[in-house]
Structure 1
Amino acid sequence: MKQVIINADDFGYSPAVNAGIVKAYQDGILTSTTLMANMPGCLEAVELAKQNPGLGVGVHMVLTCGHAITKGKTISQNGRFYSLKEYHDQRSQIDDEEIFEEWCHQIDYLLEKGLQPTHIDSHHHLHTFPENLAITERIAQKYQLPIRNAYDLEKNVSLPYQIGATGFLDLTNYPNIRNLSHSFEELKPGCLDEIRAVLNQVEDNAITELMVHPAYVDEILYFNSSFNVARVKEVSLLCDKDVAAVFNDYQIQLCHYGTTIS
């Protein structure tokens, strides 16, 4: 059996991002997403999660986008998180305990709003960075939830509540899919070949996560993220019947972190 989780990052980033993710779930093959507690579309995303109980929704821990929930003195500047580049420059000055407290507050906030998370990951994969591994392990112990095994995280830290998802692949970051000079429909043959190349890497009797970023575009996304318009093409891809047929041809069982079979 080949079990595949198709997870969309950035749920809650903005209303347009939320709309793209829900569209990709309701009309497509998306099975999972992770929610950002500190972004403008958060509360709408929580309600959408409740309205779509079949969509697995986890927590997308944030340290490099938007504003901090806590008042840590080293994790942000005037309450706003550092960019990823600034984070690398400032990390030696950032207090580990402040990161832990901020991530806990983000998770607790979503729990208080009634979200029942299936798993945890992080924006820009910060939970996999070597300097944050001890924090990641503490989070796993405290919340007893699986954490995305990106970049062989489990080889570097003991995470006791994992589901055995060994594969981690990007489904959409390839030339035809990223080509914005033509629509998905116009480039469909090349896009399908790129998807097949990814699925050729999915192993039998394994759980594999495929990362995606479907979204529509509003001003929040457009002016705050350099990765914006390209996300629209991912919505089309994930909702396309020919793409779904390719997954069927590979005998893929689609699931999320809460429905996998060990």
Structure 2
Amino acid sequence: MDNEAAMVKKLIVNADDFGIHSAVNKAVCRGFESGILTSTSLMAGGTAFDEAVHLARDLDGIGIGIHLTLVGGLPTVLPPEEVPSLTWENRCLCTDYGELIRRDLKGLIRMDDVYREWDAQIQKILDTGLPVTHIDGHQHMHMWNHFFPIALTLAKKYHISCMRVPDEKVFFGLTPTPKGIFRFAAKNGLSLMARSHRPALKEAGIHTNDHFWGMMYGGHFYEHRMIFILNRIGEGISEIMCHPSADTAAMEKTFHWGYEGEEELKSLTSASVRNVLNERKIQLVSYQELKKS
């Protein structure tokens, strides 16, 4: 933990998937202009990327991260034939992290494909001229053990001095149902892996969040859940990851995630949420502030 961050409560509120759909782009704008959103992660392969870049130019002060992507059924930035181990399904990325990990454990993913695709994603975003504050990953695949060294190498190559560490608290979020138990176990497995990378990030001079929230509530960050988390924010730098959208039905029709993005947008713009922030003297920041520390 950075010493100067340890004495106060600072909070990054980051919307993932900026550029994936116009409904997300609109929600990011509303969440920043009328709510507590401070940061967003831009997806280079998103179909609404150009719109997101255009909108971001008017969002003065918002943090812009790079959302490294290897999953989601999305197109690659490089031509699919140049990264064949990543584009097995209709010349696009595979559907989810489970399939990607299974393929990787079978030795079917070429690390050179990962490096070159992520390098192209970073270059595409940097070429917009937008000031980049940090790196994170779609479904957190930047923390998968085989891919993390690539993310770290690219962060150093492009002098990106902050990276998300998604290590939600171990005992947080257990729901006694088969689906809930599976998600809880997956969350803790990823959190343990992410936590193990902190020494390498520190050695490389990469700043990180100290605490993280959003995996167990992903896509369902209702107002009461946001307030619940805010009441547990401690000293240091915390990050809340969210997935707001301005049109839940349109997102579900396209992606079938089961996310309730409009409810998440309501949480971000809630007066009750803002009141809790003020009462608990939590400072809203972005990764830009970590870069300065």
Contact 2:226 2:267 in 1 (8 A): no
Partners of 1:171 and 1:210 within 8 A in 2: no
Please give the secondary structure, in 2, of the residue aligned with 1:158: helix
* CA–CA distance in structure 1, aligned partners of residues 110 and 209 of structure 2: 31
TM-score of the superposed pair, with normalisation by structure 1: 0.87
Aligned length: 248
Q: C-alpha separation between the residues in 1 aligned to 2:52 and 2:205?
A: 25
> Which of 64, 68, 76 pairs up with 2:87?
76
Residues 87 and 220 (structure 1), Cα distance of their counterparts in 2 relative to 1, 3 Å cut: farther
1:196 is displaced (CA, Å) by 3.7
Superposition RMSD on alpha carbons, in Å?
Answer: 2.3
2:262 pairs with 224, 227, 232, which one? 232
Normalised by the length of structure 2, the TM-score is 0.78
CA deviation map 1:192-234 (0-9, x unaligned):
3x33431243222x11111111112277622332335511101
How far apart are the structure 2 equivalents of 1:172 and 1:212? 11
Residues 144 and 221 (structure 1 numbering): CA distance in 2 closer, same or farther, change over 3 Å? same
Q: Which runs of 4+ in 1 moved over 4 A?
A: none
1:109-188 matches, within 5 Å, as 109-145=124-160, 146-151=162-167, 153=194, 155-156=196-197, 158-159=200-201, 160-170=204-214, 173=217, 178=220
Q: Distance in 2 between matches of 1:140 and 1:123?
A: 16
Equivalent residue for 1:56? 63
Give the % identical residues. 29
Match of 2:188 in 1: none
Partner of 1:242: 272
Counterpart CA distance in 1 for 2:31 and 2:205 is: 28
Instruction: Find the aligned partners of 2:100 and 2:250 in 1 and give their Cα distance.
Output: 21
Structure 2 unaligned residues grouped into runs of 5+: 1-7, 168-190
- Find the partner of 2:14 among 7, 19, 36: 7
Task: Please give the secondary structure, in 1, of the residue aligned with 2:60.
Answer: coil
Is the partner of 1:134 in helix, strand or coil?
helix
Confirm or deny: 8 A CA contact 2:164 2:208 kept in the other structure. no
1:110, distance to aligned residue in structure 2 (A):
1.1
Which structure has more relative contact order (CA 8 Å, sep 6+)? It is: 1
Kindly indicate whether the alpha-carbon contact (under 8 Å) linking 1:5 and 1:256 is maintained by their aligned counterparts in 2: yes
Q: Deviations over 1:121-146 (max 9, x none)?
A: 01000011122122122122212211
Classify the secondary structure of the residue corresponding to 2:41: strand
- Taking the aligned partners of 1:219 and 1:230, their CA distance within structure 2 comes to 9
Q: CA deviation at 1:46?
A: 0.8
Letter in 1 for 2:42: L
